[in-house]
Amino acid sequence: MGMMLPANSIVCLFGDLGAGKTTFIKGLASAATGCSKDQVSSPTFVYLNIYLGLKTVYHFDLYRLRDADEFLSMGFDDCLFAGGLCCIEWSEKIDKVLPSNCIKVNLKYDGYDEREVTITSLLQ
């Protein structure tokens, strides 16, 4: 999926804690950049990690973010259309600033090592 996405794609991930959002992004970022999955980690305390390679991936974890205004005040909206891929965990916190053509990935914990993944609103 990572190599097939065009520049400025925004992938919004939804799911409870432990649903697999970061693991999903590890695979996507690895494919898009050519980096190892081990190089991809959750930016929970810094909000944003940037992975450079074949494509640039902006990995947001907004779990600790208050709201969209805080996102905007940090200038993070510049990353949305900076020519890379944006992967956003807890994107519902900034839904008012996201374009309507985001790719939505819903992850549901479905047992010890099983997840149900639903992808909707694909770019046209």
DSSP alpha helices (H): ranges in the chain? Answer: 21-33, 68-73
Fold classification of 10-120 (topology level): Rossmann fold (3.40.50)
Q: Where exactly are the structural domains of the chain?
A: 10-120
pLDDT per position as a tens digit, 42-98: 898 899 999 999 999 999 999 999 999 999 999 999 999 999 999 999 999 999 999
Whole-number pLDDT of residue 50: 97
Is the torsion defined by CA of 3, 37, 39, 121 positive or negative?
positive
pLDDT per position as a tens digit, 5-48: 999 999 999 999 889 999 999 999 999 999 999 999 989 889 99
